[in-house]
Amino acid sequence: MLTVPPALPNGGVASPALPLPSLSDALIAALPKTDLHVHLDGSLRVSTLIELARERGVALPSQTEEGMNELVFKPSYADLGEYLAGFSWTCAVMQDPEALERIAYEFALDNWSEGVRYVEVRFAPQLHQHAGLDARGVLRAVQAGMDRAQKEVNATLPPGGLPFRYGLIVCALRAFSEQASTYYGQLMRALSKAPRRKVFGLASLELAREAVWARDEAGIPVVGFDLAGQEDGYPAVDHTEAYDYVHTHFMPKTVHAGEAYGAESIFQAITLLHADRIGHGYLLFSPERVTDPKIADKEAYTRRLADFIADRRVTMEVCITSNLQTNPGIGSAKEHALRQMLDHRLSVVLCTDNRLVSHTTVSNEIRVAVDALGVTHRQLRDIVIHGFKRSFYPGTYMEKRAYVRHAIDTYDAVIARFAALEAAEGAR
């Protein structure tokens, strides 16, 4: 759990004359945080994966945490393919309600323990569907785990504490194979004569309908719709019908774009899919990755797109560690596009993407941003508060405003408390 200096007699409100505290690990851990881009199937505990695999007869490359971290969940990866390989093992044990509920429960506790107070966990229900478990069963199982954790941790809150909240984001896939899941295999065989891209779009539309049903009819806190998977060769236009459906039902939207394909992919996500947020967006400032021959001035195109995004406050869900692992060509964190995003005053949030596969936490992502990219106190406050403001909060607008205000007050109180503590220590 978090370690926070004891409250001061004045309630922890430091004098305005006090300097800002150092951005220490303790302060970062104490700050209220969000994670708006994190995949459930990439965020299991290794020990749980091994236990569930043993119980369900899934053969893993190793039966120890050390072995799995050496062979599968590595500190670094050669390419995106190697990064994604681990998901075949995690998804294999996420095929029944009991496993899904347990994984969601532990996921929520892991977020709470590092100071995350609002999380939007995303997953593709169709990866877990089969004859005995439909999309609705998947959603209910994840909800049950998250609800159980939410109730437990909020029962421990001190007076005035910021409660833990969550939302579910369902992921459609740009493309898939018959081997991806039982559901996808059955769909592709049933529509074997249809163009592949048409089948991909139909799967997305079916999921969109289930997402709206879950929110409106079942009371499941589905707060958003997402599109993930390989961008190159699988354009956003294939999924417009699904996104139009959730758009007309007032469901917020995010899209993985600009992770492995250029700025055109981000533009398509915003214009064709009505995206409110962009997952990754790393290649926004890479004119050399613009491939459309009709775009003559690539520099101008990326500059105007960045201005368009900044003006409309389309939020970028940045995952530094994950980007470094899936795009080794970036080099180091110092070369990450977050710096350009901040310089262009984009709305930015820091996220983990996959807590297990990337071996990271929100606190770690903040640490990297501060150390490698020189993120300042002011910028960090903006980033963290954007996480609460640009969330797809599962409540009314007025309820969200109240929660965001509570988060801002909590953030400022933590900063004031650490500033007062450092001043007191310096005076000794």
* Residue with token string 């774009």: 257
Q: What is the DSSP letter of 293?
A: T
Residue extents of the structural domains in the chain: 1-30+395-428, 34-377
SS3 316: strand
Give Rg (Cα) of the chain.
Answer: 21
pLDDT at 4 over 80: no
Task: Give the residue carrying structure tokens 């104490």.
Answer: 30
Whether the model clears a pTM of 0.85, i.e. scores above it, the answer is yes
Q: Residue 45 has what pLDDT? A: 98
Confidence at residue 18, expressed as pLDDT on a 0 to 100 scale: 80
Only one residue has tokens 């163009």, namely: 195
Candidates 210, 259, 317, 365; catalytic one = 259
Angle formed by the axes of helices 182-190 and 196-216, nearest 10°: 130
Asked if 73 contacts 87 with a C-beta cutoff of 8 angstroms, the reply is no
The predicted-structure confidence for 113-145, as pLDDT tens digits, reads as follows 999 999 999 999 999 999 999 999 999 999 999
Q: Tens of pLDDT along 241-259?
A: 999 999 999 999 999 998 8
259 assigned to active site: yes
Pick the CATH number of 34-377 from 3.40.190.10, 3.40.50.1360, 3.20.20.140, 2.40.30.10: 3.20.20.140
